[in-house]
Structure 1
Amino acid sequence: MRRPALAGSVAAAVLAAAAAAGWAVASADGDEGRATPVPAADSADAGFARDMAVHHQQAVEMSYVVRDRTDDEEVRRLAYDIAQTQANQRGMLLGWLDLWELPKVSADPPMSWMGMRHAPAGEDGALMPGMATDAEMARLGRLNGKQAEVFYLQLMTDHHRGGVHMAEGCVRACEVEAGRRLARGMVEGQQSEIRLMADMLRARGAAARP
């Protein structure tokens, strides 16, 4: 049963507004209450917001695909939790870019803000580390039952590994405290889910991909 996407969109919009309010509070910096400068378009803060919003969007899509391909309540519950969490975080990231009046897309290759030059998407469609290729997304949409569960858990483990790498980069390089705080939460939450998915894979006689 597909859950309407409207609920996730509404939640994302609400959190985007909350993010704007949070930024207004967090913008007081230093003993004299000076406003924190708005990040530049090529800053780590802006790059993280743009790239992680794209990264999260695929996780949301992947999670809703598997919810239609299995009746297993454990996998469906995990997929729903990941979809809601990442849709809400994506709304916050895009809300910050709106507040900073910065573009949501950049001519620079993904991951440039981390000092990486990840190649633009080729025929496989993989934009950033951990992201599934177009072929993998298509395969997930064709599988059912246990096969869909295992493949989703493997894809999402890879996805989370890439997301943790990006979030750790923001913790090191971002200057906006609200962004670093969100990134730290992503690292903790996704590492916890990686451990959970390892257990779920073992229960299905499978393992994460190397």
Structure 2
Amino acid sequence: MSLDMGTAVDGPEAPAPQQPRWVRPLVIVAAAVALLLIGATAGLLIGLPGASSTSSSPAANSVDVGFAQDMTVHHEQAVEMAAWARDHTTDVQVKQLAFDIETTQLQQIGQMQGWLALWGQPSAPVGRDYMTWMADSGHSMSGMASAGAARMPGMATDVDLRNLRAATGKDLDVLFLQLMLRHHVGGADMLQYAADRASEPVVRNLAAQALSAQTSEAGLMRTMLGDRGAQPLPQN
């Protein structure tokens, strides 16, 4: 008797086809691009009628422009560290925190880059030190000179980043938490300054929201470090 090809044959269920190994990185990249586009679209919305309290774009030396440029650079390093930790840790709690930081800060980068494009300003600082926009009437934050700084507070060094990429297991988790905690704390003065002094309401709002979120994350990271028998790094 011939076998009916339309009839199911009992036996072990065939294994589901596995995705090629290159699919996941492409999905991650696509998600990152989507977050940047969402943020940039939100940033461009300040050009709509009634979205801004000012009738002209902020000047190149304004708090708004300086903050958007410098905080983009600051955020980009946080995203780099978070993406590495997310992909290489086996600790569920660290993975979730890294994902949250990466997702939030990618979207905020998109918003800040959208503002800068709308204002006709460079996407990154050009011909100036960092944080020069924080000096008004001789004011300085955390001991930063009014002339600005060559490196923003909290930023990881090249050696720090190489050590992070070389670490595994618990060592990776602890170093990521230490570097990211220092990074968050280092950026707090810039966020507070922009929240208080930016001319655009949307800029003040983003800075205030970021400060609140990062303050909460910093508290969580201190707890996570303690749970893992480690201490925060000194601020740089």
Same fold, TM-score > 0.5, yes or no: yes
Partner of residue 86, structure 2: 67
State the match for 2:128 in structure 1. 108
Aligned-pair distance for 1:162?
1.6
Q: CA deviation at 1:68?
A: 2.9
How far 1:137 moved relative to its partner? Answer: 0.3
Letter in structure 2 aligned against 1:145: G
- What CA distance in whole angstroms lies between the structure 1 residues aligned with 2:49 and 2:218? 33
| Secondary structure in 1 matching 2:57 | coil
Q: d(CA) in 2 for partners of 1:182 and 1:17?
A: 14
How much is the aligned-residue C-alpha RMSD, in angstroms?
Answer: 1.6
- The answer to whether the 8 A contact 1:112-1:118 is kept is yes
Residue identity over aligned pairs, in percent, reads 39
Which of the residues 147, 162, 175 maps onto 1:117?
A: 147
2:106 aligned to which of 87, 101, 109? 87
Q: Which runs of 5+ in 1 are unaligned?
A: 30-34, 121-126
**Letter matched to residue 44 of structure 1:** V
Q: Which deviates the most, 65-74 or 41-50?
A: 65-74
| Alpha carbons 1:26, 1:178 under 8 Å: kept | no
- CA drift at 1:28: 4.7
> What SS class does the counterpart of residue 68 from structure 1 fall into?
helix
Which shifted more, 98-107 or 192-201? 98-107
The answer (yes or no) to whether the contact 2:46–2:115 under 8 Å persists in 1 is no
Q: Is 1:154 the counterpart of 2:174 in the alignment?
A: no
* Distance in 1 of aligned mates of 2:76 and 2:52: 31
Deviations 1:166-191 (A, max 9, x none): 10111222110110010000110000
Who is 2:56 aligned against?
37
- Computing the radius of gyration from Cα coordinates, the structure with the larger value is 2
Of stretches 158-167 and 17-26 in structure 1, the one that deviates more from structure 2 is: 17-26
CA distance in 1, matches of 2:62, 2:42: 22
In structure 2, the CA distance between the partners of 1:36 and 1:162, relative to structure 1 (3 Å rule), is farther
Is this contact kept in 2: 1:26–1:177, CA < 8 A? no
58, 69, 72: which is aligned to 1:50? Answer: 69
Deviation at 1:23, TM superposition (A): 4.4
Identify the match of residue 172 of structure 1 among 196, 212, 219: 196
Q: Which has the higher helix share?
A: 1
Q: What is aligned with 2:14? A: none
Match of 1:124 in 2: none
Q: Within 5 Å, which residues of 2 pair with 1:14-33?
A: 14-29=38-53
Q: Give 1:39 deviation, angstroms.
A: 0.1
Q: Is the 8 A contact 1:48 1:166 kept in 2?
A: yes
Q: Paired residues, what number?
A: 199
